[in-house]
Structure 1
Amino acid sequence: MSALHKFSQHIKQKGLRATLKKTWKHYVYSHQELLWMERDLVSPIPPHRLKPYPPLQVVAITPENAVAFTRYFGDRVETMAELAREGHTGHMHLDEKGDAVAFIWGAARHYHDRHYYGCWFPVKEGEFFEFGGELSRGYWGTSLSMDLQTDLWKAMLAQGCNKVVDVCEWHNVPALKLHIRTGYEEQGRIMNVYEWFGRWRFFRETRYTGSRLDALRKPERSPATPSVA
């Protein structure tokens, strides 16, 4: 399919304005805001209504067993092996066939994300940087999104860490809501990622006061007032 045909099809499906906006962002200029979040490793997860899931096996990711990603994350096999060789702590959850259906990573030192954003994420003593968490589609909406994290927290706590830090894209509302449900707090810091013409990237950190997530929080229900007959 030619680029012109793809462009025409996208206009029919999304409209001209959305198509031009996406084209500009992809080929000319884009700006991503990554909100820094943090959480301790021992406070319990708040109650949730996520669906249960079938039993899975939690396995540490190594260069040798990264082949388990082939079925659901085929384009990540070498990346998973590479991260394991670098000494980061990775967990994958395997189904009954031995296929990885979810994974997550933790770095107890400064992390250079050359696979996606291209910048450094500094880590203080006692912290670890959580990244790369992902579930295959069949497990979306299940409590695996919580267990995936808490299993990693236990492993990093055993390594001497007491806090998890990570970043979340400002436009990724489902991920931000997951952070709220999991009990994360905002740090008031943003890693800004700028990209020009798909080639040059620039990074800078900015700060803010107050909360940028309050609008996403569910309002607390006030107790029902008994009616008087």
Structure 2
Amino acid sequence: MNQGSRAVQSAIVVEQLNHFFGTGELRKQALFEINLSIASGEIVILTGPSGSGKTTLLSLMGGLRSPQLGSLRILDTELVGAAKQVAVEARRSCGYIFQAHNLHSSLTAQENVMMGLEVHGSYSRLERRDRAIEMLSLVGLEQRTQYYPESLSGGQKQRVAIARALVSRPKIVLADEPTAALDKQSGRDVVDLMQKLAKEQGCTILMVTHDNRILDVANRIVYMEDGKLVKALES
């Protein structure tokens, strides 16, 4: 009984996960026997040197790549060996924040955020617009809704990216180096904002970062090296 309730409370459960790139003689193992459980509502930072497998693990969790061996469950949905539609549904439960913003230069801030709802297919254009404006207000960009990315600062672009990731009220937010291109104050503002909105929306955050200035926001810090989880620290 207790085991069952604990499983339900886990947003992400990874067991004996291995991942490879390439085939034949070029086949190279990127992840080795990863075991990790992240509770609902937990904020976890994944850190370690470049090339240690952090982004690979994050992309598997977000459904951007297909996991190969082991077990990877997102909100109790198994992704290893899952049908394409199952993976798509799991991806809809996640908000993804990329290191380089990945904003569309031809779209306004509002239109970029609206795109975060289009994959769900269940919102009218008016609903998408209203939700986008609301979320941009929450991240302090109510005066910038019609600005294009080229007219926004780095911190403002990252706020748009956060708004896009959170507009669908995802249960899980996956963030890949969200402060890498930002100065100290902008980076702190962005992370504090993620923490605040995630708590208000009751979602789980897994953040890849090299930024030692923001480690204090985490409930737990997980360290990776050479494709392996080597230690986990309580923050």
State the TM-score, normalizing by the size of structure 1: 0.26
Q: Between Structure 1 and Structure 2, whose CA radius of gyration is higher?
A: 1
Greater helix proportion: 2
